Structure 1
């Protein structure tokens, strides 16, 4: 009877001494193994078009602009090398600091207003007490579908001094016309309102998605503990949507500091040059006064400012997460 517990011992392997050891198989190189993997080539093919467009329309113009920033290029003819003269002129130009100050004021006004409007609208669209949510979402999203040029024209007709609808209403009620375009501060205020109105739609969608991902069990537990609506919003909603808020703030700051089309169509940086932002300053120097080298230096200073802002916000975000 064969023992079912202990299997029989295997027969010893017989090695043919006359044949010698088996030759070693050649090992395929690591690069060849990766190249033969069908999952490696497909992603490269899919991103090749985007990579080519990125290099053609972003990397190459950036490198060209960096080279021009060290020259006195005017758009035609040769580009004489001037070293750091453009950057030195830029740091001594009062108009540059005025444009930078106006850009920071515009950003400081647009970003908080955009956050409040987009978050408030998103809260209204996800609450159970709101009716007509589908129609409201379409209406609130319409500003995102309108071109900034067209939006600037619309707001210019609304806040025109002699032909604007707002002044017409004010005069009809017995008041006096407000100098929306001739007063620098009022003109900037109108652009801030228009920019926040245009940016609310997309950020509203981000907040709606974030609010829907907050677990309802948190609110139910808070209700059992007697927490009110404001306590739930402050202690549950805001911490839960903090990553989305960080993205919205970052994108809003970067977009506001690069705003051009809305200003160009609404007040053209007026009155005069009092509301010229950095992008308008760069456009004026490079295209209207043919100082391409100087404008390239200004554009790279703007890029450095945006990079610093982005890195500071990323560092603050990581610190809060840890």
Structure 2
């Protein structure tokens, strides 16, 4: 009884987390798996059809197109986001930089804005007929750029908007890790006459391996699940050129009312994310052991 009284609060809060996990993750996951095996359309009366939805997915070119575009977006977005976040963190961690407090606020503000609002902001900036960027280009006697009628240009805008929105979170992770690096390592390097690039390569980057692993892992998962930003920015356009997998699931489930089929696609996405997470954890674990 004494043990219980001592541990009641940890047990209480752990129990709350378990209940929330079951209610908002485990139960929806089980329902999603069940619906993926049915022809559920959003209302009662579904029929069990086994693996028919998954067999149809294997032949669905639109699904493969969305999955491929999601992979391309992740491959392009994550390295740029990582590099920009690390660069900003290194700059703000430098004692010689002035105005760091204001700079932190400026870089942090985009993270406080929802994806929908961020998409609207970038839509206004790059609008073809009313956008600020094309206005500046026209004032400089240039030709307006078809930002949202050209798939590749729209893709570039999406990547820029994503980096702008998510840099702050990763920057904070890097800044915390940079502060934990012993200054004695840099002082020893200075005595040996090492240049800043050598200190960055041989001290900063190796020390940041655990943080880099977490940043890349979370950025990859977030990129694979991106929805709100793209939905408000391009709505997957032009056409379906920039429709990512979550948008495909949303469109299939709510616009076409094929909830069972969309659930099957979400199960495939879950397996892909799980596989990516396991691979990255194995790679990150082995690199940290070295």
Match for residue 263 of structure 2 among 273, 296, 300: 296
For residues 91-123 of structure 1, the C-alpha deviation after alignment (integer angstroms, 9 at most, x for no partner) is: 110001100110011111111111111111101
Q: Which residue of 2 aligns with 1:321?
A: 288
Alignment of 1:163 onto 2:123:
no
Distance 1:164 1:216 in 2: 47
CA contact (8 A) 2:209 2:288 kept: no
Q: Which residue of 1 aligns with 2:243?
A: 276
Q: Which residue of 2 aligns with 1:235?
A: 202
Distance 1:77 1:97 in 2: 30
Distance 2:284 2:80 in 1: 21
CA contact (8 A) 2:81 2:163 kept: yes
Alignment of 1:144 onto 2:111:
yes
Q: Given the two structures, how large is their TM-score scaled by the length of structure 1?
A: 0.88
Match for residue 176 of structure 2 among 189, 193, 209: 209
Q: Secondary structure at the match of 2:39?
A: coil
Q: Secondary structure at the match of 2:264?
A: helix
Q: Tell me the CA shift for residue 47 of structure 1.
A: 2.2
Q: Secondary structure at the match of 1:71?
A: coil
* Between 51-60 and 286-295, the greater mean CA deviation after superposition: 51-60
CA contact (8 A) 2:210 2:288 kept: no
Structure 2 residue runs without a partner (length 5+): none
- The RMSD of aligned alpha carbons is 1.1
Distance 2:10 2:168 in 1: 33
For residues 217-253 of structure 1, the C-alpha deviation after alignment (integer angstroms, 9 at most, x for no partner) is: 0001111111100000000000011100100000000
Identify the structure with bigger relative contact order (alpha carbons < 8 Å, sequence gap 6+). Answer: 2
Q: Which residue of 2 aligns with 1:100?
A: 67
Q: Which residue of 2 aligns with 1:135?
A: 102
More helix by share: 2
Q: Tell me the CA shift for residue 317 of structure 1.
A: 1.1
Structure 1 residue runs without a partner (length 5+): 1-32
Q: Tell me the CA shift for residue 36 of structure 1.
A: 4.4
Match for residue 59 of structure 1 among 26, 29, 40: 26
Runs of 4+ aligned residues of structure 1 deviating over 4 Å after TM superposition are none
Match for residue 226 of structure 2 among 240, 243, 259: 259
Q: Tell me the CA shift for residue 320 of structure 1.
A: 1.1
Alignment of 1:118 onto 2:85:
yes
Q: Secondary structure at the match of 1:174?
A: coil
Q: Secondary structure at the match of 2:158?
A: helix
